[in-house]
Amino acid sequence: MLPPARLILNIRPEKKAQVKISSQVSSFSSKLIHWQRSNGRHHLPWQNTRDPYAIWLSEIMLQQTQVATVIPYYLRFLRHFPNIGRLASASLDDVLAQWSGLGYYSRAQNLHQAAKRVVSHYDGAFPAEYQAILRLPGIGRSTAGAIAVFAYGARCAILDGNVKRIFARYFGIEGYPGERKTEILLWQKAEELLPGEAKASNSGIEAYTQALMDLGATVCTRVKPKCAVCPLSFHCIALHNNGIGRLPVPRPRKPLPERETALLILMAHGRLLLEKRAAKGVWPNLWCLPEMPVGEDSIEYCARQFGMGTRPLPDIPPFTHTFTHFKLRIHPTPVQVISSPSVNEDLTGERMWMTPGEALKAAIPAPVGRLLRALAPSQ
């Protein structure tokens, strides 16, 4: 059982609930602010700056991706596109190439579209108002709040996966956080627990927001949380009711559907053929190995689709690539081109011949990169 809350105040009965909530908010936020200043992360590449572009970029990259993975991509991307203007004027191919390997490529496309909008609608200056930030492509409620806090000191709430986990455990909130009614409750908590009304310099809003991120990433982790060093452990309902392993309630599990495809590795003079994917669907706008229906004869398919004479090369074992909503069983199908009117031409538009090394520098899906890295040393 939780220890009883103590409010040693002489107040009128009708004000008790209000004071209790105020006391809880003050205690919750102050503990986190104090903890973050002593124990939080302070030297990440996107910290210690008010540059909204650098903060925006980091927040987009950190969506569904861990900090350690993001850091090298973030530094490389920022070197290549040091400001919004450079990003907006770049080609989508260039943007996707710098993003290649980070996954969830719609983030990069939205980033590029948002940069163009900032240039066209705001003269290249990232908007400071929360609602204006929220209207930019690829920016949701939590991301807009984080940008507003760190770039402008605004008093805004965040609710990413880490924060949902903290609130679900601390308040003992049942229900999958992705369900609408549970998410509404979590957002209510996020808004209620914000520290004081003053600007960030006085309220500690930046330290508080960073504390939520740090606590979820380093202490209140999904598995093996470090409850012994958590500043919120004394009043954590999940901890006191042995519910840490149960909360937050996981997504209702459904078996992922499985699909199959064959990826053609068309080799000619040390180069291979890549095709640009459509703007919608799997791997939008990325350069990919040509797809072929599983079970098709590769020799006949290449002759019919590409006008190429080919012969089969040694098999490469199939492997599975998992997306959020399905699994894709990939059958690599290597063939040697022995005659083709286009092998010695520099194709443009939707098809291009590249060496494996050149292709690895282009915007390619992760499983294609895996295949190319296996091919590159032998080329």
Positions annotated as catalytic residues are 59
Provide the token pair at 311: 């012969």
From 271, 264, 358, select the one nearest 313 (Cα to Cα): 264
Would you tell me how many other CB atoms lie within 10 Å of the CB of residue 233? 18
| Helix 52-61, helix 67-80: angle, nearest 10 | 140
Residues 50, 151 contacting (CB under 8 angstroms): yes
Give percent helix, percent strand, percent coil of the chain, each to the nearest 5. Answer: 45, 10, 40
DSSP at 250: P
Provide the token pair at 23: 């006391």
AA letter at 273 = L
Residues 209, 59 contacting (CB under 8 angstroms): no
Angle at 306 between CA 305 and CA 308, to 5 degrees: 125
> Going by C-beta distance under 8 Å and a sequence separation of 6 or more, which residues neighbour residue 103?
64, 65, 366
Provide the token pair at 121: 């609608």
Spatial separation of the C-alpha atoms in residues 190 and 363, rounded to whole Å: 38
Spatial separation of the C-alpha atoms in residues 162 and 215, rounded to whole Å: 8
Unique residue bearing structure tokens 């520098």 = 361
Spatial separation of the C-alpha atoms in residues 49 and 173, rounded to whole Å: 35
Residues 182, 251 contacting (CB under 8 angstroms): no
From 267, 288, 290, select the one nearest 375 (Cα to Cα): 267
Asked if the peptide bond before residue 248 counts as cis, ω within 30 degrees of 0, the response is: yes
Spatial separation of the C-alpha atoms in residues 33 and 71, rounded to whole Å: 25
From 27, 295, 302, select the one nearest 170 (Cα to Cα): 27
AA letter at 11 = I
